[in-house]
């Protein structure tokens, strides 16, 4: 997948927004709920990891092809 440069000029305003979402996404960190049995810990971690990877892939796709999501692709004007 294409590496997204956070400091480069953006082709459109939607790329700027998607990049902001990607920068706000923290690294994955497993959070174990209280009362979770040992047998459920692996499933819970996999579930949380899958959700994190979903959002990362979603934001990357949003950056690469904002028009597929109905987002504006007008030129990004910035100062």
pLDDT tens-digit readout, 28-38: 999 999 998 88
Beta carbons of 22 and 56 less than 8 angstroms apart: yes
Residue 77, pLDDT score: 77
The ranges assigned to domains in the chain are 13-24+38-68
pTM assigned to the model? 0.80
Beta carbons of 58 and 1 less than 8 angstroms apart: no
pLDDT tens-digit readout, 34-68: 998 888 999 999 999 999 999 999 999 999 999 99
Residue 39, pLDDT score: 86
Beta carbons of 44 and 36 less than 8 angstroms apart: yes
Residue 7, pLDDT score: 60
């Amino acid at each position: 997948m294409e590496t997204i440069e956070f400091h480069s000029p953006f082709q459109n305003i939607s790329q700027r927004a998607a990049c902001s979402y990607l920068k706000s996404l923290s690294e994955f960190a497993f959070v174990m709920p209280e009362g979770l049995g040992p047998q459920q810990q692996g499933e819970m971690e996999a579930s949380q990891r899958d959700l994190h990877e979903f959002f990362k892939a979603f934001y990357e796709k949003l950056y690469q092809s904002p028009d597929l999501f109905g987002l504006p692709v007008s030129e990004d004007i910035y100062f």
